[in-house]
Copies of this chain bind each other. A is one copy, B any other.
Amino acid sequence: MRAGAGEEAIARVSRRLQDLGFGVHLSRGTERTLIGAIGDKSVLSGVDLEAMDGVERVVPIRQPFKLVSREFHHEASVVDVAGVPVGGPEIVVIAGPCSVETREQLLETAAAVRAAGARLLRGGAFKPRTSPYDFRGIGEEGLRLLAEARAATGLPVVTEVMRPDAVELVDRYADCFQIGARNMQNFDLLREVGQTRKAVLLKRGSGATIQEWLMAAEHVLAGGNDRVILCERGIRAIDSQFTRYTLDLNAVPVAKELSHLPVLVDPSHGTGRAALVPALARAAVAAGADGLIVEVHPNPAEALSDGAQTLNFAAFASMMAELRRVAVAVDRVEPARAAARA
Contacts and interface: CB of A to CB of B under 8 A. Distances in A.
Query: Contact size class for A?
Result: 35 or more
A169 to B, nearest CB: 13
Interface of A: 23, 38-39, 64-66, 128-133, 162-165, 182-189, 191, 205-212, 215, 218-219, 222-223, 235-243, 246-254, 257-258, 270-271, 275-276, 279-280, 282-288, 322, 325-326, 328-330
B287 A283 contact: yes
Given A242-B250, A280-B287, 11 more contacts: A131-B218, A132-B219, A183-B186, A209-B236, A210-B239, A211-B239, A235-B237, A240-B240, A242-B254, A326-B329, A328-B329
12 contacts: A38-B133, A128-B185, A130-B212, A131-B218, A132-B218, A163-B165, A208-B238, A209-B241, A239-B248, A242-B254, A286-B287, A328-B329
Specify how many copies of this chain sit in the oligomer: 4
A207 B238 contact: yes
Nearest to A257: B275
Question: What are the 3 tightest A-B residue pairs by CB atom distance, in nearest-first order?
Answer: A207-B207, A182-B185, A286-B286
A38 to B, nearest CB: 6
A279 B287 contact: yes
Contact of A286 (B165, B184, B285): B285
